[in-house]
Amino acid sequence: MALRGTNQEFGRPYNRRIVLEAIRLHGPLTRADIARRVGLTPQTVANIVREIELQGFILSRREAPKGRGLPASALALNPDGGFAIGIHVTPRGLEAALVNLAGIIVARARRDLPRIDPDTAFREIGTIVPALAAHRPNGRMLGVGLAMPGPFDVESISFVGPTTLEGWKGVPVRQALATVTGLPSFLEVDLAAAAHGEQLYGAGRAFREFYYVYFGVGLGGTMVHDGAGLRGAWGNAGEIGHMTAVPGGDPCPCGNRGCLERYVSLEACERRSAVLGEDGWHAEAAPLFRTALLTIENLFDPETVVVGGLAPRRLVERLVAAASPLANSVAARRDRPAPRVTFSALGQDAVLLGAAALAVSGVLSPRFGMLFAEGPRPASRDPILEATEAHPA
Ligand SMILES: [Zn+2]
């Protein structure tokens, strides 16, 4: 579903975001392509394009001539037109990356800090962010996005147990992030941030409807539908790790028994391999993972299930191989263009790229607006203009 522009005069900032978003998601595009996509007149599009090109967000280049006449110039995002910082906090420490508009990681930082507490985390973030930003001293810094394990604000599951950040309950994360960085700040559950990264820059680019499995310390996933993650009423959709896999099985910190991530997750792999050996863990986990894949397919009918997260590629490949062949589900059809299960193209970087993209989307995209922003910026202003005034290209 493409967003449409408005021909009302007050809609100019909105239209600028619509046009930039079209180029960001679908570029390179000609002015005529854009006008068709967003439903604005060619003249309005031409005006906006001139403006955002001057601001340094986009570049135009002439395509090689195919027939007679001058070819139209195609507009693409200027990779260095803006930067954002993505941060991932896990039970094992934190990672951060400076990312450009094209989704290229320019610089990265990592701190191994098991069971990291909020004070330590924000102290570290306060030094990491300026150090990363210093790699592009003249760059336009759009914001910072932080991803962390969820779910958020669920009494029984949040911040309880080894797959979560214990001791983070009640911490105003977004506000603390804005305070220590001074930048527009965004927050998302790590599995959703990773799905967003994969959708923009990775395996998800080839699909409109895909399910992203986040194989991390815990296990989660997100259905990406029509270009956006399905987040549910409270933003917690996708905690598949707490689906019951073994009725009456291992107690889970959530209070239930036999939850999937007690058997299928990095945390489970380490804990169970110590008892069963690695082969034994694969034998135990594979049938449970197979059932989970079938459930996902039957629920969402995705074009494919992309498996990614923090787990090493060889580990998930081996697990998927052991879970194959998959039994029947709505996905078992002869005319499939894509395999039922594919692997992340970004691996462990998906979450950092997704967290950074959250900040880019938050500032530039008409979809996100400033809904999730917390920071020093007044909400009534036009964020594209403002990013431009703060850091002229
Ligand atoms: Zn559970």
Residue 60 alpha carbon to ligand 1 centre in Å: 51
Residue 184 alpha carbon to ligand 1 centre in Å: 34
Give CA 298 to chain center in angstroms: 24
HSE-CB of 48 using CA atoms within 13 angstroms: 31
Among residues 161, 150, 191, 154, the alpha carbon closest in space to that of 252 is found at 161
Q: Following DSSP, what letter does each residue of 129-180 receive, concatenated?
A: HHHHHTTSTTS-EEEEEEEE----S-TTTTT-STTS-TT-TT--HHHHHHHH
Please check whether residue 376 is in contact with residue 182, taking contact to mean a CB–CB distance below 8 angstroms: yes
Residue 137 alpha carbon to ligand 1 centre in Å: 45
Q: How many CB atoms lie within 10 A of CB 102?
A: 14
Place of tokens 């975001």: 17
Residue 94 alpha carbon to ligand 1 centre in Å: 24
Q: Is 220 helix (H, G, I), strand (E, B) or coil?
A: strand
Among residues 61, 68, 138, 71, the alpha carbon closest in space to that of 100 is found at 138
CA distance 124 to 110: 10
Residue 372 alpha carbon to ligand 1 centre in Å: 28
Among residues 219, 222, 224, the alpha carbon closest in space to that of 204 is found at 224
Residue 193 alpha carbon to ligand 1 centre in Å: 21
Among residues 133, 141, 140, 161, the alpha carbon closest in space to that of 149 is found at 161
Residue 152 alpha carbon to ligand 1 centre in Å: 14
Residue 156 alpha carbon to ligand 1 centre in Å: 9
Read off the pLDDT of residues 356-370 as tens digits, 9 standing for 90 and up: 998 988 878 765 543
The dihedrals phi and psi of 359, each to the nearest 5 degrees, come to: -70, -40
Among residues 213, 374, 227, the alpha carbon closest in space to that of 307 is found at 213
- The bridge status of strand 304-309 relative to strand 209-215 is parallel
Residue 252 alpha carbon to ligand 1 centre in Å: 5
Q: Is 262 helix (H, G, I), strand (E, B) or coil?
A: helix
Residue pLDDT tens, the chain, 393 long: 456 766 665 567 788 888 998 898 888 999 999 999 999 999 999 999 999 999 999 998 876 666 777 777 899 999 999 999 999 998 889 999 999 999 999 999 999 999 889 999 999 999 999 999 999 999 999 999 999 987 777 666 666 666 677 788 888 899 999 999 999 999 988 999 999 999 989 988 899 899 999 999 899 999 998 878 888 888 888 889 999 999 999 999 889 999 999 999 999 999 999 999 999 999 999 999 999 999 999 999 999 999 999 999 999 999 999 999 999 999 999 999 999 999 998 988 999 999 999 898 887 876 554 333 444 443 445 666 666 666 655
